[in-house]
Amino acid sequence: MSAQALLSVNDLRVSFDTRLGEVHAVNGVNFEVRQGEILGVVGESGCGKSATLRAIVGLTQTPGRIDSGEVRFQDRDLLAMPPRELRRTRGRDIGFISQSPFGALNPILSIERQFANIIRAHRKESRKQCRAEALQALASVGIAGPERVLDGYAHELSGGMAQRVVIAMAMIHNPLLLLADEPTTALDVTVQRQILDLITGLIKEDNRSMLLVTHDLSVVAQYCTRVMVMYAGKPVEIGSVREVFKNPKHPYTKALLDAVPKADGEIKGLSGSLPDLINYPVGCPYVSRCKFASDVCLERMPAMTQESGTRAVACHHQLVSSEVA
């Protein structure tokens, strides 16, 4: 764990028991989130982004299982914490915004009651004070008519409103670290930026940290300091947003960047699909889609190697600038 790291994830592995066999969703994930940074996490659907985040905050549910790993937050291993302590840490020091807002809300408690539960889990406050804080939090994420929302239930909210409520709940204790799994997907584009401005503004204000999962590379470019590219449950490239976007060294990173629609309307798209996560490949998981593949790629899994102080890449034949152009 480096001196600046607030969170350090080491060799995290998560699998899901399914009818067809064990799905190896997270396969040895290593990364750090440093004090004051926003780390973006990208990778196509099914590459283990949500499974990684949920494991970090202790929300892996059956049929999922954490097979191994260590998640150090402020020098303590979250995976080894008693559940009660982990719940306290999760609500207060680590905020979590899950990918599905309705899954995060309790259907049978009023929104006011849910806010009160979150506030009172960490502080002794009167009902009046909890209500005032909740109203303020809802107003800050742009909910019009926060009283009506507070008095209502989750099923009365639209997808976008539910997402804002979940964001307001996650931010209420001003956490040191915010884990946000596609926090604005249910919102329309203009509102997405508004909410991201708001969340990242709060994070930056106090030199706090954030891990932001998104499919939108322009969001990474605009808000993140560093980026981690995941493929088949593993990070394949990590580095500063500027250097990774300018000069990608992993063929998958390059394919993802090429797949962003261009101003002239050209769309390259990603060809092929993820490997079978039940019979996980022994070599490089990207081999079936990679035009640079050789025999060694079939035989040996490339290890993540540190290129410089900031960049790490897992590829036997990293791209050089001439191949990138």
Ligand X SMILES: Nc1ncnc2c1ncn2[C@@H]1O[C@H](COP(=O)(O)OP(=O)(O)OP(=O)(O)O)[C@@H](O)[C@H]1O
Stretch that binds ligand SF4, among 38-46, 185-193, 220-228, 292-300 (CB under 6 A): 292-300
Q: Does 50 bind Mg ion (CB under 5 A)?
A: yes
List 87, 193, 287, 307, residue binding ligand SF4 (CB under 6 A): 287
Q: Which of 137, 176, 277, 290 binds ligand X (CB under 6 A)?
A: 277
- How far is Cα 161 from Cα 154, in angstroms, rounded to an integer? 9
- Which residue(s) pair with 210 in the sheet? 38, 178
- Residue number, 184 or 318, with CB nearest to ligand SF4: 318
Q: Which of 69, 91, 175, 302 binds ligand SF4 (CB under 6 A)?
A: 302
Strands 226-231 and 177-181: unpaired
Least distance in angstroms from the C-beta of 188 to ligand X: 19
Q: Toward ligand X, which CB reaches closer, 8 or 98?
A: 98
Question: Nearest residue to Mg ion, using CB?
Answer: 50
Q: For tokens 């798209």, name the residue.
A: 269
* Nearest alpha carbon to residue 198 among 278, 139, 263: 139
CB of 260 to Mg ion, least distance (A): 19
Does 18 interact with ligand X (rule: CB under 6 A)? yes
Q: Which is nearer to ligand SF4, 160 or 302 (CB)?
A: 302
Residues of span 222-251 touching ligand SF4 by CB under 6 A:
251
Residues 101 to 120 in contact with ligand X, rule: CB under 6 A: none
Positive/negative CA dihedral, 226, 277, 20, 56: negative
- Binds ligand SF4 by CB under 6 A, chosen from 290, 304, 311, 312: 290
The answer to the question of residue 48 lying near ligand X (CB under 6 A) is yes
Size of the site for ligand X (CB under 6 A): 16
Which of these segments, 38-46, 101-109, 190-198, 243-251, binds ligand X (CB under 6 A)? Answer: 38-46
- Alpha carbons 211 and 34: distance in angstroms, whole number: 10
86 touches ligand SF4 by CB under 6 A: no
Q: Does 91 bind ligand SF4 (CB under 6 A)?
A: no
Q: Which of 186, 286, 304, 311 binds ligand SF4 (CB under 6 A)?
A: 286
Q: Tell me whether residue 41 or residue 143 sits nearer to ligand X (CB atom).
A: 41
Interface with Mg ion, residue 60, by CB under 5 A: no
Measured CA to CA, the distance from residue 292 to residue 159 in angstroms comes to 42
Residue 50 makes contact with ligand X by CB under 6 A: yes
Distance CA 59, CA 62 (A): 10
Considering the rule CB under 5 A, would residue 184 count as an interface residue with Mg ion? no
User: From the CB of 228, what's the least distance to ligand X, in Å?
Assistant: 12
Type of residue found at 212: L
Query: Distance (Å, rounded) from C-alpha 47 to C-alpha 6?
Result: 24
Sites of contact with ligand SF4 (CB under 6 A)? 251, 284, 286-287, 290, 292-293, 297, 302, 315-317
Sites of contact with ligand X (CB under 6 A)? 16, 18, 23, 25, 43, 45-51, 63-64, 99, 277
Sites of contact with Mg ion (CB under 5 A)? 49-50, 99
